[in-house]
């Protein structure tokens, strides 16, 4: 009888531990904007509930309706009742460009670097464990302390799903300190070219 009780207790503890681990999830984006957690095919936050089903993402992000669908070349739908149309391409890197919730998007990601534009901001980010960190420039103002949670496991997901999650992660970053609509300079992208050039030189030795 004691052995049976002990076995039951161990199984119960194991089940509880597994359930706790599953509930933790992985952060997505910037918690200063909305504390999003990605758990399998579900994304949740204080005012967000999204679910991935097949080739689609539906629900609400910060109380705004989201309805997206994709194939291997195109992601379409709406975010906050604004049109979304992203073209997708994959080779040595992943390219995503078009509009997301009415905002212009042009991103390139190669497993180490993520760079490009979302809305009025240009990003230059490098992977550090389960996040991307670096700088962005918005309206002429540069910030060098940007950290965007973006789990490495997302790279194993289909292209359209990765594109949706990557763009959502960058949309879910705190608002820039300066929001005046001034043309963004090319300074961040120049830094990218310098960083990539330095990396290439190191590989040559």
Query: Tell me, what's the pLDDT at 17?
Result: 40
The single residue listed with the structure tokens 């389960």 is 130
Residue 16 to residues 6, 20, 89: CA-CA distances in angstroms?
15, 6, 42
Tokens of 70: 């994709």
| Angstrom distances, CA of residue 112 to CA of 19, 127, 131, 135, 192 | 32, 5, 11, 15, 12
What does the alpha-carbon distance between residue 158 and residue 141 come to, in Å, rounded to a whole number?
35
Profile the chain (205 residues) by mean pLDDT over runs of 10 residues.
43 39 78 95 97 97 97 96 97 96 97 96 96 95 95 94 97 77 46 52 44
Q: Say which residues have a Cβ less than 8 Å from residue 199's Cβ, sequence separation at least 6.
A: none
User: Residues 6 or more apart from 167 whose CB is under 8 A from it?
Assistant: 86, 96, 100, 105, 107, 118
Task: Dig out the tokens for 113 from the structure.
Answer: 């670097």
pTM over 0.85: no
First to last CA, the chain: 68
Which pLDDT score, from 0 to 100, does residue 15 have?
A: 40
Residues 6+ apart with CB under 8 A from 115: 107, 108, 122, 123, 124, 125, 188, 189, 192
At residue 180, the pLDDT reads 45
Looking at residue 179, its pLDDT comes to 47
């Amino acid at each position: 009888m004691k052995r049976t009780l002990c076995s039951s207790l161990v199984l119960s503890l194991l089940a509880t531990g597994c359930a706790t681990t599953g509930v933790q999830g992985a952060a997505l984006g910037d918690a200063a904007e909305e504390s999003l957690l990605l758990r399998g095919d579900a994304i949740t936050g204080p005012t967000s509930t999204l679910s991935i089903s097949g080739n689609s993402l539906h629900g609400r992000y910060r109380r705004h309706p989201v309805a997206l669908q994709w194939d291997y070349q195109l992601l379409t739908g709406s975010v906050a009742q604004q049109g979304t149309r992203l073209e997708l391409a994959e080779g040595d890197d992943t390219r995503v460009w078009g509009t997301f919730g009415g905002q212009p998007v042009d991103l390139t990601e190669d497993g180490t670097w993520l760079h490009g534009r979302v809305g009025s901001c240009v990003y230059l980010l490098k992977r550090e464990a389960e996040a991307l960190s670096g700088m962005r420039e918005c309206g002429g103002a540069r910030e060098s302390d940007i950290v965007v949670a973006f789990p490495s496991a997302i790279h194993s997901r289909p292209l359209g799903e990765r594109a949706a999650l990557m763009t959502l992660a960058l949309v879910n970053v705190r608002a820039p300190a300066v929001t005046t609509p001034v043309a963004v300079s090319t300074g961040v992208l120049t830094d990218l070219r310098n960083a990539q050039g330095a990396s290439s030189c190191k590989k040559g030795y």
